[in-house]
Amino acid sequence: MQSLPEMPSHQALIGGAWIATRATLDVEAPSHGETISRIARCQAEEIDQAVEAARRAFSGRLGDWSRWTARRRSEWLLGFAAAIEADHERLSALECVDTGKPMTQARGDIASCARYFRFYGGAADKLHGETIPFENDFSVMTLREPFGVCAQIIPWNYPAQIFGRCVAAALAAGNTLVLKPAEDACLSVLRLAELAVENGLPEGVLNVVPGLGREAGAALAAHPHIDHLSFTGSPETGTLVAQAAAVHHVPITMELGGKSPQVVFADADMETASEAVVRGIIQNAGQTCSAGSRLLVQREAADRLLGRLVERFAALRCDAGEADADCGPLINARQKAKLEARLEAARADGIQTLAQGRLADGVPQGGHFVVPSILSEIPAGHEVLREELFGPVLAVQVFDDEAEALALANATDFGLCAGIWTRDGGRQLRLAKGIRSGQVFVNNYGAAGGIELPFGGVGRSGHGREKGFEGLRSYTRIKTVAIRHG
């Protein structure tokens, strides 16, 4: 294994201090299977302390966070973006070794994280309420207020990007935070927390409590003193978290993944479409909520498109994150075993593997690699069409006309993203309106991460919106003030 980046504090950040926990968790490098560090294992006790620290920071004495003007928050966020950019190399190396993702993708993730702080830094002092015409003897206005203490439970697939998305927006709106990163990858988050402290974020405004989902995560979701909760992860865990938050009527945002279709018509630019289809499923080894995991192709173009894809997939190589190949490993042995079992079952059901990538020569032995593959001849309603496999697996279906394309695109309980590839303007609009999902991309997929673009799901993909200005509004609530002045 190549030399490791300097590790950040492995402790929990609570009330501005780094706190050791009795027990710790090992940090594994998924490209190698080796233990490279350890992190705190917070329990209910630390979660209590973190929530109370966030409360004090929110509604404490003069000079505390809630008294910071929007302009001051804006300036802090912009300064923090610059600090992330200055630490880019170390943060990228941490993200790469901790998640196993190829170095180029890790670098892109850190750049996106900084951009979130720039975007929300720029937006913080442009968020305001309204005045409402009412009776002549009244003046009515709305105040857009922060919730108070926001709890954030985030996953391991994009730790730094999701930190940026959630933390920048919540802070810009004036909230304080308790963030529970994922036990499988949180080194970049811990480094970002160190940078926030170094950059003078007041104590208690951001608290970071690493630990297990069933311990730290469950205690945070059930905490009676949080004012808002945002969760990104699996639909099953999302249900548990939402149930816990409902006990105290805590408002929630749920981002729960997808089974997003790429719909390619015969008149599409096949070269651009095929490249986007490949990237949309192999990025982060398919462990992406917005992965384009279903390919729907019009029958008359199927041979042309699949011919290209077979060639591209056969050339894909899996290797350790540092080697910066097409595809890294899955996050852990459990995710690899789960995916392999599903692929095995699919083959037993007669599903064909059209093409597969390969392991690079000299790939580390202990890594959790699964080579990219394309599946076809899939019976309607099969698991590989319904479930988020969270791996580099593209499931292909063929359609004849627009009506069938729309029906297949919508034949899912999820609804996060969709790609439509056609030159026909009317069809672009009909499908954009007809597809049941939070985002639709026409002749592109993902809009390069789209920090400025509202993002979120329908159905089993969750609810609420992050990213863009909409994401900022969703970390606020409206208070109506009606003044009768005679």
Binding site for ligand NAI (CB under 6 A): 153-155, 157, 180, 182-183, 213-214, 217-218, 221, 232-234, 237, 240-241, 256-257, 289, 335, 388, 390
CB under 5 A: which stretch of 13-21, 94-102, 128-136, 478-486 binds Mg ion?
94-102
Q: Which of 289, 318, 327, 417 is catalytic?
A: 289
Q: What does 214 interact with, of ligand NAI, Mg ion, none (CB < 5 to 8 A by kind)?
A: ligand NAI
CA 342 to chain centre: 24
Please select the residue that binds Mg ion; options are 169, 185, 216, 291, rule is CB under 5 A: 185
User: Which CB sits closer to ligand NAI, 260 or 476?
Assistant: 260
Output the smallest distance, CB 354 to Mg ion, in A. 32
Q: What does 472 interact with, of Mg ion, ligand NAI, none (CB < 5 to 8 A by kind)?
A: none
Is the distance from CB of 310 to CB of 374 less than 8 angstroms?
yes
Token couple for 423: 């030159």
Ranges within 8-47 binding Mg ion (CB under 5 A): 28
- 322 is a site residue for Mg ion (CB under 5 A): no
Output the smallest distance, CB 216 to ligand NAI, in A. 7
User: Which CB sits closer to Mg ion, 36 or 240?
Assistant: 36
User: Which CB sits closer to ligand NAI, 13 or 306?
Assistant: 13
Q: Strands across the sheet with 206-208, in order?
A: 17-19, 12-14, 206-208, 176-180, 149-153, 228-232, 252-255, 462-463
Give the residue closest to ligand NAI by C-beta: 213
Q: What does 234 interact with, of Mg ion, ligand NAI, none (CB < 5 to 8 A by kind)?
A: ligand NAI
CA dist., res. 195 & res. 184, Å (int): 21
Output the smallest distance, CB 6 to ligand NAI, in A. 24
Q: What does 98 interact with, of Mg ion, ligand NAI, none (CB < 5 to 8 A by kind)?
A: Mg ion
* Residue 203 annotated as catalytic: no
Residues 6+ apart with CB under 8 A from 192: 84, 91, 113, 160, 163, 167
Distance (Å) of CA 98 to CA 94, 180, 192: 6, 16, 14
* Residue 417 annotated as catalytic: no
CA dist., res. 21 & res. 435, Å (int): 47
User: Exposed (0-12), middle (13-18) or buried (19+): which is 133, by Cβ within 10 Å?
Assistant: exposed
**Composition of the chain by helix, strand, coil, percent to 5:** 40, 20, 35
User: Which CB sits closer to Mg ion, 158 or 441?
Assistant: 158
CA dist., res. 388 & res. 256, Å (int): 10
Output the smallest distance, CB 294 to ligand NAI, in A. 15
Is the distance from CB of 437 to CB of 412 less than 8 angstroms?
no
Q: Which residues of 461-483 are buried (b: 16+ CB within 10 A; e: fewer)?
A: bbbbbbbbbbbbbbbbbeeeeee
Token couple for 86: 């200055």
Is the distance from CB of 460 to CB of 414 less than 8 angstroms?
yes
Output the smallest distance, CB 229 to ligand NAI, in A. 10
- 98 is a site residue for Mg ion (CB under 5 A): yes
Q: Which of 95, 255, 402, 466 is catalytic?
A: 255
Going by C-alpha positions, the residue among 242, 207, 252 that lies closest to residue 222 is 242
User: Which CB sits closer to Mg ion, 98 or 215?
Assistant: 98
CA dist., res. 151 & res. 475, Å (int): 11
User: Which CB sits closer to ligand NAI, 152 or 262?
Assistant: 152
- 190 is a site residue for Mg ion (CB under 5 A): no
CB under 5 A: which stretch of 43-51, 83-91, 96-104, 227-235 binds Mg ion?
96-104
Contacts to Mg ion by CB under 5 A: 28, 98, 185
For the annotated catalytic residues, the residue numbers are 255, 289
